[in-house]
Amino acid sequence: MGGLFEGWFGGLFDARLDLYPLLAAVLAAVTCGVLGNFLVLRRISLMGDAISHSVLPGLVVAFLITSTRSPLVMFVGAATAGVMTVVLVEFIKRFGRVEPGAAMGVVFSVLFALGVLLIERAAVRHVDLDADCVLYGQLELLSLRPEVPRQVWTLLGMCVGAFVFVGLLFKELRIAAFDPALATTQGFHAGGLHYLLMVFVAGATVASFEAVGSILVIAMLVCPAATARLLTDRLLSQIAVSVAVALASAVIGYFGATLVPGWFGFDSVNAAGSITVVSGGMLVLAIFASPSHGVIARVVRQRGLVRRVVRDDVLAALFRAGERGEAGLDGARIATMFEGLGTGEALAWLEKRAFVRRDGDRFGLTESGTERALEIVRRHRLWERYLVDEAGMPPDHVHEAAEMLEHVPVRPEAGPETDPHGRAIP
């Protein structure tokens, strides 16, 4: 495997120093990325933050009771603390009558403070369990081990367990994420699935603590899933994309921790922190560049809608002018009617596509333009009639509402032959 990475990254990768830290980062990121999808879908992303903080007292108490840091003992302590976190959040939310975010914030801040207090004050300071390890992890130190580090094996087991859990219960998790009540009626208890998911989140958290720290865990539980959610609307595709984003974040962030600071003459930075920054950067990129939900796509769609509305309004104005017996309208009058909102561009577009014809300074409808304008005016007057007859609005209050509805590609069923103002409905 070392030769494979060396082939990909050339002199940047040293199998002797980078293999185990990189494996730990990838396994932690992918494990958290898979489980984080269901936190994001259920809009409880902060629960991952809460658990990643509140498992700390579970770890410390487990060590105090058993005097060992074996993975099984640590997992049991973390899972117990994770389930206790969920129970406390539900208790405070129900009986304290506060919104979920506030309940989670109270629980994880108190439990995390308790964990730090136990670490600092209890008789555990002589062991390698400290706040820096919990926050930032010790990725770089894994390269000092001659054999495969215990952290890598633990993360590998947790990663396999997370994929098996999601694979076996995918249908149930999907239904529970979107409709917990339906999940219960289908024969599997949504609450039980919720607690089981929280146990796996707690397990992923404790498996990642020693290697990558809680900061990276929090980011990976949210950022890859949130990024994938912006890029696809299908759950299976979202999980696949989140895994790819987590993997890319781990690899780019790990090598970037050494490479990028060197460009500016600085020493390397913490690898876990660098991976977190990269995952956040990918989320920001998706927020802007997502083809369906991104800021740029929304701006483009909005501008396209504005242009279409202006073109429709110009066609409707020309049609109404024809109803009044006018032989078209001049460009200046059209611009005045719509306060110049892109009417010049609209007229040029309509003329190019043969919806309007130009005679000097005046514009009139072509045959195809008349057909399109007739449909717009028909929708407008049908909506006016509907708003008066069905919604009970006064006739002199329906024009503005109908002007917005006329651009929707649906219309009420035809009824009377005239609108509320006595004009014929074409």
pLDDT at 136: 63
Q: Residue 19 and residue 139: Cα distance in Å, rounded? A: 11
User: Which of 274, 293, 312 is the C-terminal boundary of a domain?
Assistant: 293
Same domain, 281 and 245: yes
Angle ∠(191,167,158) on CA atoms, nearest 5: 85
Closest CA to 148 of 78, 69, 211: 211
Domain count, the chain: 2
256: domain CATH number is 1.10.3470.10
355: domain CATH number is 1.10.10.10
Least confident piece of the model among 30-34, 188-192, 218-222, 357-361: 188-192
Q: Residue 325 and residue 268: Cα distance in Å, rounded? A: 78
Same domain, 109 and 143: yes
- Asked whether residue 122 is domain-assigned, the answer is yes
Give 374-407 pLDDT, tens digit per residue.
999 898 888 888 888 888 888 888 888 888 888 8
Same domain, 257 and 367: no
Give 285-315 pLDDT, tens digit per residue.
999 999 888 899 999 998 888 889 889 888 9
- Asked whether residue 288 is domain-assigned, the answer is yes
Closest CA to 207 of 65, 24, 335, 342: 24
- Asked whether residue 164 is domain-assigned, the answer is yes
pTM for the structure as a whole: 0.77
Whole domain around residue 55: which residue ranges? 2-293
Same domain, 280 and 319: no
Same domain, 197 and 226: yes
- Asked whether residue 244 is domain-assigned, the answer is yes
Same domain, 278 and 133: yes
Same domain, 235 and 352: no
The 3-state DSSP class for residue 296 equals: helix
Same domain, 238 and 256: yes
Averaged pLDDT for residues 250-268: 80
Same domain, 380 and 237: no
Structure tokens at 74: 């640590």
What does residue 90 show for φ and ψ, rounded to 5 degrees?
-65, -40
Same domain, 138 and 233: yes
- Asked whether residue 345 is domain-assigned, the answer is yes
Q: Looking at residue 412, what DSSP letter applies?
A: P
User: Which of 259, 293, 327 is the C-terminal boundary of a domain?
Assistant: 293
Same domain, 192 and 330: no
Q: Residue 70 and residue 75: Cα distance in Å, rounded? A: 9
Same domain, 159 and 103: yes
Q: Residue 11: is its pLDDT beyond 70?
A: no
Least confident piece of the model among 197-206, 236-245, 355-364: 197-206
